[in-house]
Amino acid sequence: MISLLLAAAISLVISIFGTPFAIKSLRRRRIGQFIQDEILPQHGHKQGIPTMGGIVFVLAAVTGYFLSHVRLWRPTTGLTFDLEPLDPGGLLAIFALLGMATVGLVDDYLKVSNRRSLGLGKAPKFLGQLVVAGIFAYSATTAGISTQISFVRPLGVDLGVFFVVLVLVMLTGAANGVNLADGMDGLASGSGALVIGAYTIIAFWQWRNPDFYNAVDPLDLAIVAAAMFGALLGFLWWNAAPAQIIMGDVGSEGIGGVIAALALLTDTHLLLVVLGGIYVAETLS
């Protein structure tokens, strides 16, 4: 429990105090949002608002996760400096976050450098997402992830080698779904915080009840989720309407990547359709 609180607190502090510095830096470099011509009448007021703010909360979450494993005091030894083991499940979730965020960062960079609303083409972006999802799928299977499809418990349907397809669909689908939902001020960060907050509780509950669930390192997953939750809350302070900064694709795709990773690693694949219903609706529309 202490690790969860530390991860969330550290990420929140870094995000809420680091975002205004990012706003000033992005404005100084004239890194602002570009609005597509067809939606300019409705969203023209967002033209020029600092973008790529997702970098702040992604780095805040990663920092919070790693620092929560540092121990400076132990009752038996007093002052110390130890690093608790980093479990494969937590590292996989961090990889999904950073991997999808990197694809989004490249997309954002091309938009800013070309000074237009279009960045990566559909094919290169999807290819980048598939590479990240493929590495995640291979690493997750070696870490002992269950290949049975599940809601909150396994449904008795083992996908076998086809589980890789489910991983690819979930990771790329979630990354693009959150990206599509990112439009209104605070929508992606607010909804993302709610979904990830739910997974913090889910993963912690699974850790407390290991006989009933088949999650991969649920305590470390709960720490990742808590760190991301705190980071998103800090960012939401500046992203809520009227937004002073926009997360960009680096933020939205990072959120989607870590949400899908948490669903896969906690063995709650179909539950994501319910928790992330807004992203499903956006994608289907």
What is this structure's pTM? 0.91
The Cα 68–Cα 66 span in angstroms is 5
In a structure prediction context, what are the per-residue pLDDT tens digits for the chain, which is 285 residues long? 788 999 999 999 999 999 999 999 988 877 766 555 444 444 445 556 888 899 999 999 999 999 999 877 666 666 777 788 899 999 999 999 999 999 999 998 888 887 666 667 888 999 999 999 999 999 999 888 989 999 988 888 999 889 999 999 999 999 999 998 887 888 899 999 999 999 999 999 999 998 888 899 999 999 999 999 999 999 999 998 888 899 989 999 999 999 999 999 999 999 999 999 999 888 887
Nearest to 253 by CA among 66, 89, 121, 128: 128
Task: Give the chain's domain count.
Answer: 1
Domain span holding position 31: 2-284
Alpha helices, DSSP H only, in the chain? 2-28, 40-43, 54-67, 88-114, 122-142, 163-181, 187-208, 218-239, 248-265, 271-275, 277-284
